[in-house]
Amino acid sequence: MTANREYKTSVFTALFSDDEKLLNLYNAITNNNLPPDTPIEIATLEGILFNERRNDIAFIVGSIIVFLIEHQSTINENMPLKLLVYISRIYEAIIDSSVIHKRKQIKIPKPEFIVLYNGTEPFPERKQLRLSDAYSEATQEITGTAGSLELTVEIVNINTGNNEELVKRSKELSGYVEFVQEVRNNQSAGCELTEAVREAVNSCIAKGVLAEFLRRHASEVINMLTTEWNLDDALRISKEEGLEEGLEKGLEKGREEGREEGREEGRGEGLTMSTVVIRELKANTPPEEISRRHQMPLVMIKQLQEAIGL
Amino acid in position 209: V
109 with 233, same domain? yes
Do 257 and 225 reside in the same domain of the chain? no
Determine contact, residues 10/70, Cβ cutoff 8 Å. Answer: yes
112, amino acid identity? E
Q: How confident is the model at residue 266 (pLDDT cuts 50, 70, 90)?
A: very low
Whether pLDDT at 49 is above 60: no
Specify whether 77 is located in the same domain as 203. Answer: yes
Give all strands of the β-sheet with 110-117 in edge-to-edge order: 40-42, 56-61, 64-71, 110-117, 152-157, 126-130
Beta-bridged to residue 67, according to DSSP, are 58, 113
Q: For residues 261-282, b (16+ Cβ closer than 10 Å) or e, as one string?
A: beeeeeeeeebeebbebbbbbe
Task: Out of 17-21, 134-138, 254-258, 276-280, give the one with best mean pLDDT.
Answer: 17-21
pLDDT at residue number 64: 93
Count the neighbouring beta carbons within 10 Å of the beta carbon of residue 97: 7
Tell me the pLDDT band of 207, cut-offs 50, 70 and 90: very high
User: Residue 140: inside a domain, yes or no?
Assistant: yes
The verdict on residue 5 lying in a domain is no
What kind and span of H or E run contains 214? Answer: helix 211-241
Closest listed residue to residue 65, CA positions, set 93, 46, 37, 35: 93
pLDDT confidence bin for 252, thresholds 50/70/90: low
Instruction: Provide the β-strand partners of residue 113.
Output: 67
33 with 22: CB under 8 angstroms? no
Task: Verify that 68 and 17 share a domain, yes or no.
Answer: yes
90 and 30 within one domain: yes
Q: How many structural domains compose the chain?
A: 2
Question: 60-108: per-residue pLDDT in tens?
Answer: 998 899 999 888 777 888 899 989 998 998 898 888 888 888 888 988 9
Kindly state whether residue 230 falls inside one of the protein's structural domains. yes
What H or E segment, with its residue span, contains residue 20? helix 19-30
Which has more confidence, 194 or 292? 194
- Asked if 141 and 24 sit in the same domain, the reply is yes
Domain that holds residue 231: 11-239
Decide if 201 contacts 216 (C-beta within 8 A).
no
Residue 55 φ then ψ, to 5°: -125, 25
Reported as a single tens digit per residue, the pLDDT across 165-180 is 999 999 999 999 999 9
Domain limit, last residue, from 214, 239, 264? 239
Q: Do 171 and 288 belong to one domain?
A: no
Q: Kindly report which listed range (106-115, 135-144, 154-163, 209-218) carries the lowest average pLDDT score.
A: 135-144
Tell which phi-psi region holds residue 296, choosing left (phi > 0), alpha (psi between -120 and 50) or beta. beta
**Does residue 110 share a domain with residue 32?**
yes
Listed in sequence order, the residues at least 6 apart from 195 whose beta carbon sits closer than 8 Å to its beta carbon are 186
Angle 179-184-190 from CA coordinates, rounded to 5°? 130
What gap in Å lies between CA 67 and CA 86, rounded to an integer? 9
Does any domain span residue 104?
yes
* CA separation for the pair 173, 178 (Å, rounded): 9
Amino acid 10: pLDDT: 85
244 inside domain: no
User: In terms of domains, do 205 and 258 share one?
Assistant: no
